Amino acid sequence: MPNPFSVLRRTPPLPGHTLSLPRPHGSSDAWLLSQWASELAQGPAADTANGSAPAIKREARQAPTGARLAVICEHAQDAQRLSQEIGFFNPALRVRLFPDWETLPYEAFSPHQDLVSERLLALYEASIGALDVIVLSASTALGRIAPPSFLAAQTFFFKKGQKISGDVLRQQLQTAGYSPVSQVVTPGEYAIRGGIIDLYPTGSALPYRIELADDVVESLRVFDPDSQRTVHPVQEIRLLPGREFPSDAQAAQDLRARWREVFEGDPSRCSLYKDAAKGLFGAGIEYYLPLLFDKTATLFDYLPPCDQQSDLGGAGAIATVGNIDRAFLEFHSDIENRYRFLKADIERPVLAPSRLYLSAEEFFIQAKPRARLALQSETPEPKAVLHSERAADRVIGEQITSAQPFQRSQKFQQSQRSQQLPTSRSIERRQIPSLSSEACRPISWANRISAS
């Protein structure tokens, strides 16, 4: 088996090509990715002499927009792990996890505000070129997200000595999707008490306290939300949007207009549509994101354009960890099942999966012009063990109309070395001849449980 570390160093993937390597064991995949990310961050003039990891050079050239490397994992657990370990092996790399919403598709629940905060911070840093590696799961990579223009238009900065009235600040916070509360606890909240404004920006580890004196920002301080005590002063505050979609009056009007175009029937029967008339965006509105934007974006909009790859040494590359094809297939299967189950709900109609997610084909078409590294596991899946019960169902079903319908099932039972527990959907099916022999007696679990 070839050494993946030496292969990647000798022949790194070029734009438009894929390098497939066996996945290293343990945390070695994080070390491998950190080495490649370092070379991408340094650019084409990277010096890799003596086999040492190159230091990241911040040259005077114009910084590209987008993350230099996107790491897409089959499982969310691997994404969480790699987002921490890649930075451990090379602390100079700027690494962010782009987490999933952690809600079921079409669910009438909004994601936790902490997750929204992490997602917006990762997207903002990627959009301004302040991110080297963005790590996410396969299902998250398919989602359609807010475009970079939305983040650019809804991001504000407050500096000490800046002149701004409390009413204007309140209006900006409401436009950005922040919620007024009596005491800030989570990102996306603010509280105003006279000339003191407590603000918890999304993407920030701690909230800030703004003190105004005659509409001038007199002081900016970080404070502890538990003890309410200030920690240290700062000179500037970055205010990201409070949500992943616009929440002003115009956005509510656009939502209602597009709703009538997409869905048939009486829209007044849906609570989300009625709430939008009041300027409210109900729980689960994230799964109607295409109705809030003229055009949604994808992960590829937060990577450097393909025409910049040659000048940036292949930056904007993609690394996949695990069986991404299988993850895409399973995710779309779940999405389609939920869509078929919920699409007939006239009180809460749902958008087609193609409006919310990329297909696997669309993803690979957009990824094709980029440099790609595939770390795949060589361990085969134990399909025979996992699907043995399906094999039993198949042999029974094939012979159900023959003169001896259970002959093949009996042979299958005799060929199995392990003990078996056949089950049936009804009491009548439990009395089948093949299950009435001495070797396989039918039992009633209900009677056993009641007797014990």
On whether residue 245 sits in a domain, the answer given is: no
209 with 197: CB under 8 angstroms?
Answer: yes
Q: In terms of residue numbers, what domain contains 162?
A: 156-239
pLDDT tens digit sequence for 57-102: 433 344 557 889 999 999 999 999 999 999 999 999 999 999 999 9
Q: Indicate whether 55 pLDDT > 50.
A: no
The residue type of 62 is Q
On whether residue 191 sits in a domain, the answer given is: yes
Please tell me whether residues 47 and 94 are part of one structural domain.
yes
Q: Which residue has the higher pLDDT, 80 or 167?
A: 80
Q: Where is mean pLDDT largest: 43-57, 264-278, 408-422, 434-448?
A: 264-278
350 with 341: CB under 8 angstroms?
Answer: no
Please tell me whether residues 143 and 38 are part of one structural domain.
yes
Domain boundary among 323, 349, 376: 376
Q: Indicate whether 440 pLDDT > 70.
A: no
Please tell me whether residues 129 and 200 are part of one structural domain.
no
Please tell me whether residues 175 and 129 are part of one structural domain.
no
Please tell me whether residues 53 and 75 are part of one structural domain.
yes
Which is nearest to 70 in space by CA: 95, 45, 101? 95
338 with 104: CB under 8 angstroms?
Answer: yes
Please tell me whether residues 15 and 115 are part of one structural domain.
yes
pLDDT tens digit sequence for 324-366: 999 999 999 999 999 999 988 888 999 999 999 999 999 999 9
Q: How confident is the model at residue 314 (pLDDT cuts 50, 70, 90)?
A: low
Distance in angstroms (rounded) separating the CA atoms of residues 19 and 4: 10
Please tell me whether residues 50 and 142 are part of one structural domain.
yes
Q: Which of 45-59, 218-232, 257-271, 375-389 has the lowest mean pLDDT?
A: 45-59
**Percentage, residues of the chain above pLDDT 70:** 76
Please tell me whether residues 75 and 52 are part of one structural domain.
yes
Which is nearest to 323 in space by CA: 23, 98, 29? 23
Residue 200: the pLDDT is 92
Q: Which of 52-56, 309-313, 317-321 has the lowest mean pLDDT?
A: 52-56
CATH no. for residue 232? 3.30.2060.10
Distance in angstroms (rounded) separating the CA atoms of residues 452 and 442: 18
Domain boundary among 376, 403, 419: 376
On whether residue 431 sits in a domain, the answer given is: no
Please tell me whether residues 41 and 129 are part of one structural domain.
yes
On whether residue 430 sits in a domain, the answer given is: no
On whether residue 274 sits in a domain, the answer given is: no
Please tell me whether residues 46 and 128 are part of one structural domain.
yes
Residues 6+ apart with CB under 8 A from 358: 142, 143, 144, 298, 366
Q: Which residue has the higher pLDDT, 88 or 157?
A: 88
Secondary structure, 3-state, the chain: CCCHHHHHHHCCCCCCCEEEEECCCCCHHHHHHHHHHHHHHHCCCCCCHHHCCCCCCCCCCCCCCCCCEEEEECCHHHHHHHHHHHHHHCCCCCEEECCCCCCCCCCCCCCCHHHHHHHHHHHHHHHCCCCCEEEEEHHHHCECECCHHHHHHCCEEEECCCECCHHHHHHHHHHCCCEECCCCCCCCEEEEECCEEEEECCCCCCCEEEEECCCEEEEEEEECCCCCCEEEECCEEEECCCCCCCCCHHHHHHHHHHHHHHCCCCHHHCHHHHHHHCCCCCCCHHHHHHHCCCCCECHHHHCCCHHHCCCCCCCCEEEEECCHHHHHHHHHHHHHHHHHHHCCCCCCCCCCHHHHECCHHHHHHHHCCCCEEEEECCCCCCHHHHCHHHHHHHHHHHCCCCCCCCHHHHHHHHHCCCCCCCCCCCCCHHHCHHHCCCCCCCCCHHHHHHHC
What pTM was estimated for this model as a whole?
0.75
- Spell out a b/e string for 348-370, using b for 16 or more CB atoms within 10 Å of the CB, else e: bbbbebeebbbebeebeebbebb
On whether residue 231 sits in a domain, the answer given is: yes
Distance in angstroms (rounded) separating the CA atoms of residues 106 and 123: 23
Distance in angstroms (rounded) separating the CA atoms of residues 93 and 110: 32
Query: Residue 72's beta-bridge partner residues?
Result: 136, 320
pLDDT tens digit sequence for 22-32: 988 889 999 99
On whether residue 405 sits in a domain, the answer given is: no
Domain boundary among 311, 343, 376: 376
Please tell me whether residues 179 and 311 are part of one structural domain.
no
Total domains in the chain come to 2
Distance in angstroms (rounded) separating the CA atoms of residues 302 and 147: 9
On whether residue 33 sits in a domain, the answer given is: yes
Which is nearest to 25 in space by CA: 54, 3, 51? 3
Residues 6+ apart with CB under 8 A from 100: 76, 115, 136, 137, 139, 140
Please tell me whether residues 8 and 140 are part of one structural domain.
yes
Q: Which of 108-112, 203-207, 309-313 has the lowest mean pLDDT?
A: 309-313
